[in-house]
Amino acid sequence: MQAKYKKYILNFKRPSGTSRGVLTTKETWLLQISDGKNTGIGECGILRSLSVDDRPDYEEKLKWVCANINTGPEFLWEELKEFPSIQFGVEMAFRSLYSENKFELFPSDFTRGEASISINGLIWMGDKSFMKQQISEKIEAGFDCIKMKIGAIDFETELELLKYIRREFSSEEIELRVDANGAFSAEEALEKLKQLSEFQLHSIEQPIKQGQWEVMASLCAKTPLPIALDEELIGIFDPKGKAEMLEVINPQYLILKPSLIGGFKGTQEWIDLAEKQKIGWWVTSALESNIGLNAITQWTYTQNTRMPQGLGTGSLYTNNFESPLEVKHGQIHYNPGQKWDFNFNTCI
């Protein structure tokens, strides 16, 4: 068996703002494995400054994977504990290799085009007019769940935007989620949650920076607004550590990003622990290309969750790969009649 990898730079159609800065490009790494007859494709979707495996030896680890590809996915996954995005790429590539169709990793009603997945419409940070424009576009496109990134512009302006949505649409018509990306200080967080709760929000993601377990536990106990942990999950590799964190913080929801938490296997560990503790969850892509998004979406459908998922990022880039994934009326669909436009050897 042979393996090789390639870096691929995705270009945003327009700069996309988060509380950690504005994104114009997204680096990703594509992994191809071959047994001489079939090939498999995986994506190692690293997020610089956020992924725990944003390390100087990242490419060296990819070289090591290629040199040791014959050891198989189980051995490699265990050896890659500190490189969750590579774990995900390896899992995906082997699943692709052994599938009848290398892009149909989890055959289901979804991949047959007979079912779809409800997703949220994502509102990126920017000035008030830009964010208002995005909100209008998502509502006109048929989304009934909107996720708005907050924490980078003036908080009062963000409250005005939420008030604008609620003036037009009730919580029964539009579900609103907000994502603070850890932007609030521990001292101000509870008061801000109280102000946000006036707009009948579904939840807020990561109100304070990760690693403050006791503070987050207090917030989750007192909050008038359900809290979803996101960055808090990154870097916890051991199932015992995962269980300890959930027991201490006891959040209302988890946000699961396979590229950041160890692929399908790592995500399943979190799901099993969450369900044992009656914690809700949903799956979100982490700005992968359509290669990774395809795998995440297909796997998510098999989990039989009916909550809107965070899987609508495929249209962000000018140079994404054409795929059967289509977003229509707030749902992501798989069109089996649409062919892939992907060639590992020619992508640069």
Q: Which of 257, 276, 278, 339 is catalytic?
A: 257
Name the CATH superfamily for 117-334.
Enolase-like C-terminal domain (3.20.20.120)
Nearest to 284 by CA among 262, 306, 308: 308
Structure-token match 């610089």, residue found: 48
Q: Which part of the chain has CATH 3.20.20.120?
A: 117-334
Q: Which of 102, 138, 147, 149 is catalytic?
A: 149
pLDDT digits (tens, 9 = 90+) for 287-342: 999 999 999 999 999 999 989 999 987 788 999 999 999 999 999 999 999 999 99
Instruction: Determine the pLDDT at residue 324.
Output: 97
Could you tell me the two tokens for 221?
């106990």
pTM: 0.95
Instruction: Determine the pLDDT at residue 348.
Output: 57
Alpha helices in the chain (DSSP H): 58-67, 73-79, 84-97, 128-140, 155-168, 189-197, 213-222, 239-249, 258-261, 263-276, 290-301
Q: 138 an active-site residue?
A: no
Residue 87: how many other CB atoms lie within 10 Å: 30
| 2-97 maps to CATH 3.30.390.10 | yes
pLDDT digits (tens, 9 = 90+) for 115-125: 999 999 988 87
Q: Which part of the chain has CATH 3.30.390.10?
A: 2-97
Could you tell me the two tokens for 51?
């992924």
DSSP per-residue letters across 8-76: EEEEEEEEEEETTEEEEEEEEEEEEEE-SS-EEEEEE---TTTSTT--TTHHHHHHHHHHTGGG-HHHH
What whole-number distance in Å separates Cα of residue 263 and Cα of residue 92? 8
How many CA atoms lie less than 13 Å away from 124 in the CB half-sphere? 18
Q: 257 an active-site residue?
A: yes
Divide the 348 residues of the chain into consecutive groups of 10 and give the mean pLDDT of each group: 96 75 88 96 93 96 98 96 97 97 97 97 83 88 92 86 90 93 94 97 96 98 97 95 98 98 97 97 96 98 94 89 95 95 81
pLDDT digits (tens, 9 = 90+) for 263-282: 999 999 999 999 999 999 99
Could you tell me the two tokens for 205?
């993601």
What whole-number distance in Å separates Cα of residue 260 and Cα of residue 192? 28
